[in-house]
A and B are shown apart, each in its own frame.
Chain A
Amino acid sequence: MKKLNIKAKNVIIQILTAIGIALIITLLVLLVTSEEPFYAFSKLLTAPLTRVRYFGNVIELMIPLAFAGLSASLLFRSGLFNMGGEGIFYISGIITTVLATQALGNGLIHSFIVILAASLFGGLIACISGFFKAKYDANELVTSLMLNTILFGVGFYILKTRLKDMSVTGVASAPFLDTAKLTVMVPKTNITTGFLLLLLLTGTIWFIYKKTKLGYMIKMTGINKDFAKYSGMSFFALTMIVHFMSGFIAGMGSSVHLLSMYDRFTWSALPGYGFDGCLVAMLGKNHPIGAFVAAFGLSYLRTGSDIMARSTDVPVEMVAIVEMALVLLITADFIITYLKRKKALAGGTVNE
């Protein structure tokens, strides 16, 4: 137990150091590029707290990021480098649109059917890359990235030819029915019951990691690919299960996001949440609670930078520099190595 505490303490010190360094870098960038660096800096950091609506925006954006992050972290944790969440977000959005525009029952049942169908479809799509990885060792990074573009092409084609509402200008589907949309929980915001679903999901994944054989296998396979072979579950089965779960979560994230925030389906490009999910997973060190916190942090930063961009001369893309500094400092283990070395020099034991 003591050892675990030291490990957890090191991780927390590492993350705080990373945040500190990232903030210093941000300030330096602002000093060089902006006319009002300190005003921009304070907007970036404090603006989301100044109004209920702004903080609502943080939570609204956090939900898809957290779903995507949980989806990616499952794969990364098992040593699978798949970035297919992006395409699944799009194609599950199409499934959501098809079902949410038709009358399928009253409030709860309709939403339930739509989300379940989008999730299942996402899971099946993820199994395409998963199957070829598991059976033939096809590079899942490449196949999933190719699938992203293919799924977008097919989905956009369906949107334009089958789902488009001709009565509105621009590419948009028919409006989602009110029975399908999720219920708003916090007035004056768009925070819906989807947030409860996210909490439930984060808890479930945490439970799977902590208490089940599957969770243990996922972790061990991530450390050593041969482990699955010797532990009674085949690499094939594990890869398929993990891919299905990951696609399921991404599909769920897409439909929850659409049913919370949108009246119609209007995506005419890939939404980016799948790729952001990879960043969230890395920031959260492939841990479900880590992903939850990281999604909040990333969303806070993006909401802050959005408000900053509206009131200063700094473009919103500046946030990429902060995000990258954070991701690279958190995925690099030099801070932990430094902490361990310091402890060893002080006469403590080092457990690598």
Chain B
Amino acid sequence: MNDILALLVTPAFFYAILRVTTPILFAALGNVISSKAGVSNIAMEGTMLTASLAGVLASAYSKSALIGLIAALLVGILFSAFMAYLSLYLGTKVIMAGIALNLFASSFTVYILYMFTGQKGNSASLASKQIPSVKLPLIDKIPVIGEVFSGHNILVYVALLSVVAIYIMLNKTKLGTHIKAVGENPAAAASVGIKVRRVQFISLCLSGLLAGFGGAYMSMGYLSMFTRDMIAGRGWIAIAASAMGRSMVIPTTITSFLFGIFSAIGNVLQLQNIPSELITTLPYVAVFIGIVVYSIRKSRGGRS
């Protein structure tokens, strides 16, 4: 027991928390934007998966990590735009479209991977590029803090900065005000001349952009290749984080980190002599308990 505790209070463990929280945070923030506009994007899992494959393929063929990242972002936006078009203009329920597209992405990515590489498991045969890591100046020199915060993949810092950016976007800009107005009362928003569907379309595309970042991070930072179903429920964990954070930026960031901590603990314990089948369920158990506790507290609070 003490051995495990010793493993958890090291700078390496806190470094790992930032590393595993990043994809969850990207997707959770994406869900926040769409939820604020009243069209919760639950296709984060599928969007991230498709974007991560796009990043790997584009970077391998262009020999440029930057082009890979741009491709992942574009595919993320396109994937969400497709879903937005279906639900806003063709009348599919957004939740149904989300469920269907998540299932679709799982086999579609394998199909595309096979078309390009002849493999169905992973993209190891492609020389795809990685998005580089950076050492932060000054902070790097501080003991402990430097070890935790410096030397991460660029996208880890992008994730942290996007917390700030989205907070400002939602609270200080015209677009943010429109998004919130549309989400709270679409009829009222329409009556003052806000184009409801257009605002919802834009917010779904923005959520796709963030999922694109998350996907690119997974295949070009967290790992150095695409593997089948590599998102492994992170999109859903993100949606749980956004639900528990009541679709607000700061609380959602906190819950994302909470789930990130449990994922990191799971990763540490896997190296111990504990059955890995049970340990891998730890983050999911944490999310399950988190959602239940949150809902109980919310319903108690509503009653009094």
- Chain A residues in contact with chain B, CB under 8 A? 33, 81, 83, 132, 135-139, 141-143, 145-147, 149-150, 152-154, 156-157, 160-161, 275-276, 278-279, 282, 315, 317-321, 323-324, 327-328, 331-334, 337
Binary per-residue interface labels of chain B (160-191) against chain A in the complex, 1 for a CB within 8 Å, 0 otherwise: 00000000000000000000000000000000
Chain A to chain B: the 5 pairs with minimum beta-carbon distance, closest first: A320-B107, A153-B281, A138-B295, A317-B111, A136-B295
User: A81, A153, A319 — which one has the most chain B CB atoms within 10 A of its CB?
Assistant: A153
Say which size band chain B's interface belongs to.
35 or more
Is B277 an interface residue, CB under 8 A from the partner? yes
Q: How far is the CB of B46 from chain A (nearest CB, A)?
A: 11
Q: How far is the CB of B92 from chain A (nearest CB, A)?
A: 4
User: A147, A149, A276 — which one has the most chain B CB atoms within 10 A of its CB?
Assistant: A149
Tell me which residues across on chain B come within 8 A of A319, comparing CB atoms.
107
**B299 A137 Cβ-Cβ under 8 A:** yes
Tell me which residues across on chain A come within 8 A of B294, comparing CB atoms.
138
Nearest A residue to B96 via CB reads A331
**A147 B100 Cβ-Cβ under 8 A:** no
Is B9 an interface residue, CB under 8 A from the partner? no
**A282 B100 Cβ-Cβ under 8 A:** yes
**A320 B104 Cβ-Cβ under 8 A:** yes
5 contacts between A and B (CB under 8 A): A141-B42, A150-B288, A157-B278, A278-B103, A324-B100
Q: How far is the CB of A156 from chain B (nearest CB, A)?
A: 5
**B295 A145 Cβ-Cβ under 8 A:** no
Q: How far is the CB of A158 from chain B (nearest CB, A)?
A: 9
**B107 A146 Cβ-Cβ under 8 A:** no
Q: CA of A61 to CA of B280 in the docked complex: distance in angstroms?
A: 30
**B295 A334 Cβ-Cβ under 8 A:** no
Tell me which residues across on chain A come within 8 A of B91, comparing CB atoms.
332-334, 337
Q: A33-B115, A137-B295 provided; 15 other pairs, C-beta below 8 A?
A: A136-B299, A138-B291, A139-B291, A141-B42, A141-B95, A143-B292, A146-B233, A146-B285, A146-B291, A150-B285, A153-B278, A157-B277, A324-B108, A327-B104, A333-B92
Q: How far is the CB of A68 from chain B (nearest CB, A)?
A: 12
Q: CA of A327 to CA of B86 in the docked complex: distance in angstroms?
A: 12
Q: CA of A328 to CA of B86 in the docked complex: distance in angstroms?
A: 8
Q: CA of A331 to CA of B291 in the docked complex: distance in angstroms?
A: 29
**B281 A328 Cβ-Cβ under 8 A:** no
Tell me which residues across on chain B come within 8 A of A141, comparing CB atoms.
42, 95, 239
Tell me which residues across on chain A come within 8 A of B236, comparing CB atoms.
142, 145-146
Q: Tell me which residues from 264 to 294 in chain B have a Cβ below 8 Å from any Cβ of chain A.
A: 275, 277-278, 280-281, 284-285, 287-288, 291-292, 294
Is B216 an interface residue, CB under 8 A from the partner? no
**B42 A334 Cβ-Cβ under 8 A:** no
Q: CA of A97 to CA of B27 in the docked complex: distance in angstroms?
A: 38
**A149 B108 Cβ-Cβ under 8 A:** no
Nearest B residue to A149 via CB reads B284
Tell me which residues across on chain A come within 8 A of B93, comparing CB atoms.
331
Q: CA of A142 to CA of B236 in the docked complex: distance in angstroms?
A: 7
Is B97 an interface residue, CB under 8 A from the partner? yes
- Chain B residues in contact with chain A, CB under 8 A? 42, 86, 89-93, 95-97, 99-101, 103-104, 106-108, 110-111, 114-115, 120, 233, 236, 239-240, 243, 275, 277-278, 280-281, 284-285, 287-288, 291-292, 294-296, 298-299
**B292 A136 Cβ-Cβ under 8 A:** yes
Tell me which residues across on chain A come within 8 A of B90, comparing CB atoms.
332-334
Tell me which residues across on chain B come within 8 A of A337, comparing CB atoms.
91
Q: How far is the CB of A101 from chain B (nearest CB, A)?
A: 20
**B96 A279 Cβ-Cβ under 8 A:** no
Q: CA of A64 to CA of B280 in the docked complex: distance in angstroms?
A: 28
**A317 B233 Cβ-Cβ under 8 A:** no
Q: CA of A248 to CA of B93 in the docked complex: distance in angstroms?
A: 27
Tell me which residues across on chain A come within 8 A of B281, comparing CB atoms.
149-150, 152-154
Q: Name the contact of B240 in the complex, choosing from A139, A149, A278 (C-beta under 8 A).
A: A139
Q: How far is the CB of B63 from chain A (nearest CB, A)?
A: 25
Q: Name the contact of A146 in the complex, choosing from B89, B104, B240, B295 (C-beta under 8 A).
A: B240
Q: How far is the CB of B118 from chain A (nearest CB, A)?
A: 9
Q: CA of A33 to CA of B111 in the docked complex: distance in angstroms?
A: 11
Q: Name the contact of B120 in the complex, choosing from A139, A142, A278, A315 (C-beta under 8 A).
A: A315
Q: CA of A317 to CA of B104 in the docked complex: distance in angstroms?
A: 10
Q: CA of A317 to CA of B298 in the docked complex: distance in angstroms?
A: 43
Task: Using A143-B291, A143-B292 as known contacts, say yes or no to A83 and B99 having CB atoms under 8 A apart.
Answer: yes
